[in-house]
Structure 1
């Protein structure tokens, strides 16, 4: 599979490269490694294709009809190979090759060049400094190196020259060496050279003079070629190469000599001691003995095939210690000495085919691996024939007359045994038992008729290739052995290699048919059973594969969902972090804005009245949310109207006019230095964020304050709200200069809210004396402090339970005056309230006149009117003390002894209490 993929990729690369270079029509361009080949051969072209911009390195233009040399390719610096063979080029100018600086190979074989003068040999090839190979085969040149100077081929870079079949009859001498100083290979084959002059060359290494009608090779000729290594003199049928020559051959440089098909009946090679390869095939040699190759101890390859050898001496090859290949095929050898190759310790290949041995006898060799004895008319084999071939691997006995294999024939190393086209009729159970390494067995073309039991090959564990075709098999389809043998051959991996040649010779109805078609009707049941089993296994495998795919898909889905959930969690976490970051930024901005008062807030603070002006201002009885409620004219008018509607429901004009014109009190309020210092301390004091409550104590001056130590107050960030803490109220120390100085309430030091009933509405409900008349605070220490009230008729007795309940809202509400007159002549009643609640807001009820049964009577006495006015002032004073700074407090309902008086709704705290 990998090989096919590589081939496909290579083909795709070649196709893509061909498309990329835009090869001109009708040429075909291919990339070989990193070289671009352009094939334009045999296209009958008369005009050269255009390769401008194409980096062609190998250009083949052979087999066309070009008449001139392509000088337009001189600008192609990448061109290194140019083939112009089999065209009609007749001449090359002296300056034709100008520009071909990279050209290495130029082939001009089989053109119309008639002489060396047409090639301009002394001038043209000087302009190709890289030219290494020049092919001029098939042109009519006539001679070589013995003409005028302008006919001498001149090139300092040329190393290979091919001028075979050029009609050359004579060869020059010294001029060849002088004009071609780098020539290494010269091919003069197929020329009519009756005689060869000396070629003094120190560079020539390979000379081909085959089929040149040479009769004699002198020693003087070989001595002139000082570095000649290979000499081919084959097919010179009149050549004399023996000791009878007047000038014997002697050279110590020649390595390869080919004198095949020269009709030599004897040969003398003693003058060539350095030969490593000699080919003597196709001659008339009859005897080879110890003296034939006595001086050629360096021989490695010896070919004496196609001679008339009948006798091989015992020591004929004894001196050839380096001999690796020996070819004695196509001779008339009838008998071989068992020790004729015993001394050749490196001999590997021995070819004895096409001889007349008739019997395979014992051959001794410790190195031979391949023996070819086919077509030797061998009829019998000795059982010990292979016992002395210790490393034999391949034995070819095909096309012989062998009818039976010996019983005890054995070899521990034999891997391939070819017995094809012999006369074997039977194979016994021990025929191949002693060949444990046997892997390739040819039994085709014999006379086998009966199937071979598979257990005959039980010892051949490596047997994987069997040829059994072209035998006259008797197809007994009902024979279990026949079926078993067929299964043995065809079961995967199939051992049979010529399955299409397994044909039946009997019975007559099956003659010429393949085994499969002849026995198909009988073997179909077995085929079906086997097919059913295979089908069952296929279903099982498909089911398992499907389950595997499902499990894999489920696992992938789970992993995907898990990753999706993790990504979603991460996304939610990021969103939460972003939301928390935004909230934190918003809080930081809010705190920064609260910590840094704006310009408008600063202006509002600067517009606040001074302390003397604040004391002169009327005091609020009802809670207000800001100073803006009092500064507006409409608010002032509405407040006056409200007071007027509350206090004068019966239309008393004189009294409302007296209250509208408030007069300043003759007593002047002055600022106290101690009050200002205490306020400065209160403003600059540092309080813990979790200290919420504390206890009251009196200083020497008589004013009350909260103890900073062991006290807990609201957190620092709550002080930015528009509320006034209990600490600020407790630390107020301006009673010395206040009209309330004479009223010094006692503040009992009790544990914080330990005696508070959790069903009460607020702290004010427990500490305000206005709620004491209801009789619901018996356990409070403030219950004994009751304000002095005028003596009135005893009211009806009211029973109050021990628990404190929330007051019900009366259908008719009575509101106190919004502003108290500090400077009126009436005596102000002392309030028993100690600590005003600064954490409640009073929801303003519907403003309307409250019915008053006492005021409706015209005959009311003056005493009663004074008593009623005193009560209203008392309520105003107690409410005004609870309202301090910008805080609001609820108007407590006045507990009256009379059943006709109504209660006022006190709302629950709208902020976090002191608990």
Structure 2
């Protein structure tokens, strides 16, 4: 048994694993193309350019988005998603819905087919296609081109017992005719036909319809009995029908169930709401209503919200609002009302908020109401307010008198309930101790943008213990810092814990030297004289600190200077060392160049041109034989001597002596014998050259070097073995290019 139970557990685990693998593999392609949620219950395939649904199915998918693709036909394999709750296939190219398109989608609640190419109701197969979806609640067919809502060959427009919301916005529907298009929708609750060129609404019959939206259409009139076939209608929106008028005859629109009515932005001349006894909210703004009759709303006893703004109402009567016992909000702004009777508000015992702004009221008047808490009379050109104007408003909490022409507030204006008083942007310039004396509950007072110049006093608000906010900015305050009242009022307004205004909002406008400065900036040193006049002890400490600081600064400067001098000296020494090294290298280079020049100096005999024919005739004859220049003049056996191609240092010295001014009588040549011994071989005396040749030889480098060596020999000690050659300035010229040496037998003109 134990083995059997363990085997069953293993098999169950394997099956669960296989099921999970099948679950993942079932949506493999679909989730690869689309975006799947973590639990695989929501799939988003929008904007993928799909023409067909990718392979894959999952019974747990509840939301599928196929919008904005390229579907031409309805997907065939949607029946595998039998737990689907929401399907969005809008923004495609569908023009037909097959009968079995929604087969097996019994859990579907929302279907969006908007922005497709449906042009006929028959292409939807409306009598068969929606019957399998027994749970369908919302059907969106907006932005198609149905043109009409007429029945087709005595067939119902759409048959579905579950659809509650039908959206047909922007479908170019211009007429509704024949039998009711809603007869096949037994549970319809909301119908949206807005933004269609619909001229009339008729033949709309439904016992369950609660909301009808025909706004932004082309309606001009509505028959008085059109709403009688909608016994459950609660919400009716007909706004932005610019030619729509409500009938002013005895046969007005009638609906016992209607509670919300929106007829804004139309051409209504009279409210004509008598046929809606249960109406709770009526919006009639932006119309052409010129006046309100007596007992205009006597049948609307359930009305709670009434908006008549942006009309042309010029007058009211004391009994205009009679019967509105439950109304709480009344908006009469942006009209042309010049006078309001005192008892007008008494007919509305539940009224709490009334807006009268943007009218032509010249005074506050003596309004009476036991319920009004918020009264807006801004921008009404009010120039005066009576001392007892607020006494009739027993529950007034917030009064807005901004942007009027008030130049004076009467003393002791009284209200035991007023908490917020807005007097911004008027022409007020003066208040005193009695101005707010009778406003004991005042919490917030705003006088921004008036003409106050004299600084107020703290005593003005001794009777206002609950005052928390006081807005005083954008006034023309004259700052007198010496006046103790200014400092006292500044502390009262800006200091904690009862801070009433920010200090940066209190700006001086005069005198001219303080324009634009805040009260604190202008009077700081006047209000704090101890901070302006230093005491002796503080001055001594200040001087001491300054001396110590200067001493420290001097020490730092000296240290920096010394370190800079040391650094400059090190840099200079390094620079001198580098210069000296450069000079040594240059000296060595010059000596090497001199040695190379000595080695590369050409034979002077190669540089002397042969004598011309005339010079040769004028030269004296020699007694010795001219067969060889190496012959001696002793008469001994003449021996020829071959010329060596290269010259040693001895040869250079011989040439130097031979080319000098003093004739050489005898020269000793040192040669190497074959046995390694040196022997002295006498040479003959070389005859002198011609006068022009002697002049050239005197200026030859050999003659100059010989004279230099003789000059240096006078100063050399006899113990020195080596001879030091000093390079003269004239030898510092650049080396001449080495000349090619040629033999005497092959003399060229370029050699001279």
TM normalised by structure 2 equals 0.58
**Pairing 1:318–2:322 present:** yes
The one of 135, 140, 143 equivalent to 1:138 is 143
CA contact (8 A) 1:469 1:499 kept: no
C-alpha distance 44-383 of structure 1, shift in aligned 2 (>3 A): farther
The one of 446, 465, 480 equivalent to 2:450 is 446
Q: Which residue of 2 aligns with 1:389?
A: 393
C-alpha distance 399-73 of structure 1, shift in aligned 2 (>3 A): farther
The one of 287, 306, 324 equivalent to 1:283 is 287
**Pairing 1:345–2:349 present:** yes
- Shift of residue 510, structure 1, vs aligned partner: 5.0
**Pairing 1:202–2:202 present:** no
Q: Which residue of 1 aligns with 2:364?
A: 360
What whole-Å deviation, never above 9, does each CA across 1:741-792 have from its counterpart, x for those lacking one? xxxxxxxxxxxxxxxxxxxxxxxxxxxxxxxxxxxxxxxxxxxxxxxxxxxx
CA contact (8 A) 1:311 1:333 kept: yes
CA contact (8 A) 1:173 1:200 kept: no
**Pairing 1:164–2:169 present:** yes
Q: Give the Cα separation in 1 of the matches to 2:531 and 2:489.
A: 15
Secondary structure, counterpart of 2:347 in structure 1: coil
CA contact (8 A) 2:156 2:184 kept: no
Q: Give the Cα separation in 2 of the matches to 1:466 and 1:82.
A: 58
Secondary structure, counterpart of 2:346 in structure 1: coil
- Shift of residue 179, structure 1, vs aligned partner: 1.8
Q: Give the Cα separation in 2 of the matches to 1:365 and 1:512.
A: 45
The one of 502, 506, 509 equivalent to 1:505 is 509
The one of 239, 242, 247 equivalent to 1:242 is 247
- Shift of residue 61, structure 1, vs aligned partner: 7.9
Secondary structure, counterpart of 1:223 in structure 2: helix
CA contact (8 A) 1:282 1:306 kept: yes
C-alpha distance 153-340 of structure 1, shift in aligned 2 (>3 A): same
What whole-Å deviation, never above 9, does each CA across 1:604-653 have from its counterpart, x for those lacking one? xxxxxxxxxxxxxxxxxxxxxxxxxxxxxxxxxxxxxxxxxxxxxxxxxx
Q: Give the Cα separation in 1 of the matches to 2:433 and 2:506.
A: 22
Q: Which residue of 1 aligns with 2:232?
A: 227
Secondary structure, counterpart of 2:130 in structure 1: helix
**Pairing 1:471–2:467 present:** no
- Shift of residue 201, structure 1, vs aligned partner: 1.0
Secondary structure, counterpart of 1:179 in structure 2: coil
What whole-Å deviation, never above 9, does each CA across 1:584-620 have from its counterpart, x for those lacking one? xxxxxxxxxxxxxxxxxxxxxxxxxxxxxxxxxxxxx
Moved more, 326-335 or 439-448: 439-448
Q: Which residue of 1 aligns with 2:196?
A: 191
Describe how 1:428-443 pairs up with structure 2 within 5 A: 428-443=432-447
- Shift of residue 161, structure 1, vs aligned partner: 1.6
Q: Which residue of 1 aligns with 2:674?
A: none
C-alpha distance 259-518 of structure 1, shift in aligned 2 (>3 A): same
Secondary structure, counterpart of 2:131 in structure 1: helix
Q: Pick 1 or 2: higher relative contact order, CA cutoff 8 A, min separation 6.
A: 1
Q: Give the Cα separation in 2 of the matches to 1:463 and 1:517.
A: 26
The one of 414, 417, 429 equivalent to 2:421 is 417
- Shift of residue 333, structure 1, vs aligned partner: 1.0
Q: Give the Cα separation in 1 of the matches to 2:184 and 2:201.
A: 19
Secondary structure, counterpart of 2:225 in structure 1: helix
C-alpha distance 425-119 of structure 1, shift in aligned 2 (>3 A): farther
- Greater gyration radius: 1
Describe how 1:550-699 pairs up with structure 2 within 5 A: none
Moved more, 210-219 or 149-158: 149-158
What whole-Å deviation, never above 9, does each CA across 1:214-261 have from its counterpart, x for those lacking one? 22211332222222233223333333422448x653443333333333
- Shift of residue 108, structure 1, vs aligned partner: 4.5
Secondary structure, counterpart of 1:264 in structure 2: coil
* RMSD across aligned positions (CA): 4.1
**Pairing 1:309–2:331 present:** no
What whole-Å deviation, never above 9, does each CA across 1:517-565 have from its counterpart, x for those lacking one? 6666767889999xxxxxxxxxxxxxxxxxxxxxxxxxxxxxxxxxxxx
What whole-Å deviation, never above 9, does each CA across 1:91-137 have from its counterpart, x for those lacking one? 56434445654443344444554444554544443343322222333
Q: Give the Cα separation in 2 of the matches to 1:76 and 1:491.
A: 70
Moved more, 425-434 or 117-126: 117-126
Q: Which residue of 2 aligns with 1:851?
A: none
Unaligned runs of 5+ in 2: 1-30, 534-752
The one of 370, 374, 389 equivalent to 2:374 is 370
**Pairing 1:406–2:413 present:** no
The one of 242, 254, 257 equivalent to 1:253 is 257
Moved more, 89-98 or 215-224: 89-98
Secondary structure, counterpart of 1:360 in structure 2: coil
C-alpha distance 366-477 of structure 1, shift in aligned 2 (>3 A): same
CA contact (8 A) 2:157 2:182 kept: no
- Shift of residue 58, structure 1, vs aligned partner: 7.3
What whole-Å deviation, never above 9, does each CA across 1:821-868 have from its counterpart, x for those lacking one? xxxxxxxxxxxxxxxxxxxxxxxxxxxxxxxxxxxxxxxxxxxxxxxx
- Shift of residue 59, structure 1, vs aligned partner: 7.6
Q: Give the Cα separation in 1 of the matches to 2:488 and 2:112.
A: 63
Q: Which residue of 1 aligns with 2:299?
A: 295
Secondary structure, counterpart of 2:139 in structure 1: strand
- Shift of residue 288, structure 1, vs aligned partner: 1.5
C-alpha distance 488-197 of structure 1, shift in aligned 2 (>3 A): same
CA contact (8 A) 2:109 2:136 kept: yes
CA contact (8 A) 1:361 1:382 kept: yes
Q: Give the Cα separation in 2 of the matches to 1:89 and 1:345.
A: 59
TM normalised by structure 1 equals 0.48
Q: Give the Cα separation in 2 of the matches to 1:39 and 1:387.
A: 66
Between the two proteins, the alignment pairs up a number of residues equal to 499
- Shift of residue 275, structure 1, vs aligned partner: 2.9
CA contact (8 A) 1:469 1:498 kept: no
- Shift of residue 511, structure 1, vs aligned partner: 4.2
CA contact (8 A) 2:147 2:172 kept: yes
Q: Give the Cα separation in 2 of the matches to 1:84 and 1:449.
A: 69
CA contact (8 A) 1:474 1:504 kept: yes
Describe how 1:862-901 pairs up with structure 2 within 5 A: none
- Shift of residue 157, structure 1, vs aligned partner: 1.1
- Shift of residue 468, structure 1, vs aligned partner: 2.6
C-alpha distance 506-115 of structure 1, shift in aligned 2 (>3 A): farther
CA contact (8 A) 1:211 1:233 kept: yes
Unaligned runs of 5+ in 1: 1-22, 530-915
Q: Give the Cα separation in 1 of the matches to 2:486 and 2:371.
A: 41
What whole-Å deviation, never above 9, does each CA across 1:869-914 have from its counterpart, x for those lacking one? xxxxxxxxxxxxxxxxxxxxxxxxxxxxxxxxxxxxxxxxxxxxxx
What whole-Å deviation, never above 9, does each CA across 1:441-460 have from its counterpart, x for those lacking one? 22222223343333423332
C-alpha distance 515-26 of structure 1, shift in aligned 2 (>3 A): farther
The one of 421, 427, 444 equivalent to 2:431 is 427
Q: Give the Cα separation in 1 of the matches to 2:506 and 2:234.
A: 53
- Shift of residue 167, structure 1, vs aligned partner: 0.7
Moved more, 257-266 or 349-358: 257-266
Q: Give the Cα separation in 2 of the matches to 1:496 and 1:26.
A: 60
Describe how 1:145-156 pairs up with structure 2 within 5 A: 145-147=150-152, 152-156=157-161
What whole-Å deviation, never above 9, does each CA across 1:323-362 have from its counterpart, x for those lacking one? 2222211111111111111132111111111111110111
